[in-house]
Chains A and B, each alone.
Chain A
Amino acid sequence: MNWTCDLIEARLSDYLEGLLQGPERAAFEAHANSCADCAPLVASVRGLVGEMHSMEKLETPPRLVYAILDKTLGPRETVTGWQGFLNAIRGLATPKFAYGGASVMATLIIILSASGFSLRKPKLADLRPAAIYQSADRGVHLVRARCVKYVSDLRVVYEIQSRLRQDENNLQTTPEEMLPKSSPEKNPGQTDDHKPSQPRQQNRANEISRQIELLAAEFPLLSERSGR
């Protein structure tokens, strides 16, 4: 089909909006590119459509919305004084604002309590910076002391528990192992590190027996001295 200038003009918007496909599009472009009248027309319309699409929408005049409201709902009275104040506050009565207000109050109460300000007997002097600093410093030291004491107590409890656990393990061993064995090479105060299988209680028993022997050895001397 031979495209004429009239046909180009009639299908121009379809071409610009991509509604022409395949052979139709090719035939359109073939005529438009070669025709002295159609080529500038296509270019100018294409440019115009692009410009109109990029034109920004106009801003609404500032008072137009209020004028529309006055015309539809009628003129509204301006409320002043306490009524206006209450109307403004009424706008704050929303759950979101209530939650926010409650969390702010809770934060303030926590901070005031931590700063030493008594909520039951409030005193203006408690709000002095020096008083707040002293209260905070005292609070920090108190907390630190409590933590240190807590850790120390835990350590003592752990040591006691570990000793008791060891004693329980020792009691579960065989009776022959529990008998104190005299060991000549055992010196008082010597640890059992080189013999891990020997129970500690045996060391203690050896030490006690050794001391008793030494004491017994001292008795003849004492009796001799007392006899003189």
Chain B
Amino acid sequence: MRRHTRRIFNICYRFTGNRTDAEDLSQDVFLRVYRTLGSYRSAHGGFATWATSVTRNLLIDHYRRTKRDRITDSLDDKMPVVENKESAGRRPDEQALLGELSMQVQSALIRLSPELREAVILRDLQQLEYAEIQTVLAVPEGTVKSRINRGRIELARILQQMGVRPA
């Protein structure tokens, strides 16, 4: 259970960028899994894949609920200033939780659209296979590859505008 908890917490944190929201959402994921365990079928893939699907669905629901409370995720010219505000607004324990580059990647990630963000998180941060991501997102494999590709390019451009150069 600890292994699943860690994986789900990582997905939630990378998607929301907020530790409190990630903890709450992780609990909701396990509650949903616990209540709907009877509906799990092996056709849905392995248990981990099914749990990831539940996580993704809850994250999208959470995103839509909190959309009006967020700063728009469109790219604007004030990106470097926004970056400083984000760093100043991050809690000290969160800064301790992440490394420097990880913090910058996290800041750039939450600027992606949800579709691109979830694709990049599942592929590059969770190292899931294309087939598994296809099951989780319930889209064709071509769409998965396209989202991952666009997400990576978009993320690289955001980091470039933030003045961050990955090694």
Question: Is B a genuine binding partner of A?
Answer: yes
Question: Are the C-beta atoms of A58 and B156 separated by less than 8 Å?
Answer: no
Q: CB-CB contacts of B15-40 with A at 8 A, as 1s and 0s?
A: 00001000100110011001000000
Contact of A47 among B1, B26, B27, B166 (CB under 8 A): B166
A147 within 8 A of B: no
Question: Are the C-beta atoms of B160 and A60 separated by less than 8 Å?
Answer: no
Question: Are the C-beta atoms of B152 and A64 separated by less than 8 Å?
Answer: no
A10 to B152, CA, bound (A): 11
Shortest Cβ distance from A63 into B: residue: B23
Say how far B2's CB is from chain A's closest CB, in angstroms: 6
A14, A50, A67, A68 pick with most chain B CB within 10 angstroms: A68
B9 within 8 A of A: yes
In the bound complex, residues from chain A placing their C-beta under 8 Å from that of B167 are 47, 50-51
- Interface size bucket, B side? 35 or more
Question: Are the C-beta atoms of B30 and A48 separated by less than 8 Å?
Answer: no
Say how far A104's CB is from chain B's closest CB, in angstroms: 32
Question: Are the C-beta atoms of B125 and A55 separated by less than 8 Å?
Answer: yes
Q: CB-CB contacts of B113-134 with A at 8 A, as 1s and 0s?
A: 0000000100011010000000
Given A12-B152, A45-B153, A52:B125 Cβ within 8 A: yes
A59 to B98, CA, bound (A): 10
In the bound complex, residues from chain B placing their C-beta under 8 Å from that of A10 are 149
Shortest Cβ distance from B104 into A: residue: A51
Shortest Cβ distance from B106 into A: residue: A55
In the bound complex, residues from chain B placing their C-beta under 8 Å from that of A64 are 5, 9, 23, 26-27
Question: Are the C-beta atoms of B149 and A13 separated by less than 8 Å?
Answer: yes
A9 to B167, CA, bound (A): 20
A34 to B6, CA, bound (A): 44
Q: CB-CB contacts of B62-98 with A at 8 A, as 1s and 0s?
A: 0000000000000000000000000000000000011
Question: Are the C-beta atoms of A68 and B30 separated by less than 8 Å?
Answer: yes
Q: Which B residues are closer than 8 A to A by beta carbons? A: 1-2, 5-7, 9-10, 13, 19, 23, 26-27, 30-31, 34, 97-99, 101-102, 105, 120, 124-125, 127, 145, 148-149, 152-153, 155-156, 159-160, 165-167
Identify 8 residue pairs between A and B in the complex whose beta-carbon atoms are under 8 Å apart, listed by A's number: A13-B148, A45-B156, A47-B166, A50-B166, A52-B125, A58-B10, A59-B97, A68-B5
